[in-house]
Amino acid sequence: MSQAMPHPESLGRVAVLMGGASAEREVSLMSGAGVLQALREQGVDAHAFDPAQRDLSELRREGVSRVFIALHGRGGEDGCVQGALELLGLPYTGSGVMASAVCMDKVMTKRVWSSEGLPTPRWVCLQAGEQGHDQLRAVPDALGLPLIVKPPREGSSIGVTKVQGYSQMDEAVRLAAGFDPDVLCEEFIEGEEVTCAVLGEGQGATALPVVKIVPPEAGYDYQNKYFTDEVKYQVPSGLPEAEEREIQRITLQAFRTLGCRGWGRADLMIRGSDRKPFLLEMNTSPGMTSHSLVPMSARAAGIGYGELCVRLLAFAKRDPAGHRAEGKGA
């Protein structure tokens, strides 16, 4: 995990994008506040910037030289703000336009992983015109019960329901469809929930220690993720060494397959019956709050919060196509 820390002055004027207009605005403001304070404590010339309140074009006028994206959800980690920053010619943290867009869509992510033979729970995607009563009843027949219903383009467990019986399908789909016209129905994997973070890019990417998540009886929902201390996190995970290594291997392969860079965090389930891991999703702009999992995993690898923020900022770049186009025109 050794990497020379850049001199703070070499990073220039930095904008920390936080807030935004997504359903995860509140969490983003918490992430951004933590990152901003940490960067300033490390001597970085960092400034808060809320794209819900200011136009991104102001970044250039203010002399910003690179951007730390602490946005979550739509408009922040779905390729939109990444594309805008490409047009502005500003390097930014995390994945580029394509990987961000694909990872934000859990259905597309699963299609990519499945095409590469990576393990992910079986699923059915119900598009906007495919959510009639008969179509909903067919889903438990295909996936079994219980099953998970979620909006494919939201995060932080927003709009997610664990469906125990046929009678719950209508309400669960209606809830998810309130956030996204398409609805993802996913096989429920009974077992342990873990997460694994990645730092770097390509063959130089490294998996951090696995974190085991032990939720309360109420489940690992939005409230418990960010606003209570009911969820217990184990790092070291306590898993057998071979299992930990396999989860790290699968996560790295999943990260590279999707074309991610800079950092990311995969969420997985380990099936209790045979200890097989299944990939659920890849987060390209993970949380950086006091409850967040990437800082927790980094600490276990000997990387403090401030150092982590600076490292991520040092990874900031643009898509290769953006660099090729730089010399054209005036």
Reported as a single tens digit per residue, the pLDDT across 74-104 is 899 999 999 999 999 999 999 999 999 999 9
Question: Do both 156 and 235 map to the same domain?
Answer: no
| pLDDT exceeds cutoff 90 at 13 | yes
325 found inside a domain: no
**194 and 172 belong to one structural domain:** no
* 230 in a structural domain: yes
Q: How confident is the model at residue 158 (pLDDT cuts 50, 70, 90)?
A: confident
Domain span including residue 265: 102-119+189-314
pLDDT digits (tens, 9 = 90+) for 183-230: 999 999 999 999 999 999 999 999 999 999 998 765 544 554 444 577
- In this predicted structure, what is the pLDDT of residue 327? 39
Residue 273 annotated in active site: no
Active site residue 243: no
| C-alpha span between 52 and 260 (Å, rounded) | 26
- Residues 297, 214 share a domain: yes
Mark whether 127 and 113 lie in a shared domain: no
Tell which residue, 109, 111, 178, 183, has the closest CA to residue 151. Answer: 183
Distance CA 287, CA 18 (A): 11
Residue 162 belongs to a domain = yes
Distance CA 90, CA 319 (A): 10
Catalytic annotation on 132? no
**Any catalytic annotation for residue 24?**
yes
Is residue 148 in some structural domain? yes
| CATH number of domain containing 252 | 3.30.470.20
Burial class of residue 242 (count of CB atoms within 10 Å of its CB; 0-12, 13-18, 19+): exposed
Catalytic one among 24, 86, 154, 187?
Answer: 24
Residues 158 and 55 in one domain: no
Indicate whether 222 and 113 sit together in one domain.
Answer: yes
| 288 and 301 together in one domain | yes
Taking alpha carbons only, the member of 314, 239, 319, 303 closest to residue 14 is: 314
Same domain, 245 and 270: yes
State whether 107 and 240 are in the same domain.
Answer: yes
Q: Catalytic residue at 281?
A: yes
pLDDT at 289: 85
15 is a domain residue: yes
For the chain, how many structural domains are there in total?
3
| Whether residues 143 and 259 fall in one domain | no
Out of 28, 31, 283, 285, the active site residue is 283
Could you tell me which of 29, 22, 121, 36 has the C-alpha nearest to residue 75? 22
Q: Given this model, what pLDDT does residue 68 score?
A: 98
In which band, very low, low, confident or very high, does the pLDDT at 1 lie, cut at 50, 70 and 90?
Answer: low
> Can you tell me whether residue 258 is helix, strand or coil?
coil
Same domain, yes or no, for 114 and 245?
yes
205 is a domain residue:
yes
Return the ∠ at Cα 218 (arms to 212 and 219), rounded to 5°. 35
Q: Are 59 and 29 in contact (CB under 8 A)?
A: no
Q: Does some domain include residue 195?
A: yes
**Residue 222: active-site member:** no
Q: In this structure, are residues 248 and 210 in contact, taking their beta carbons and an 8 Å threshold?
A: yes
| Whether residue 216 sits in one domain with residue 141 | no
The predicted model scores a pTM of 0.91
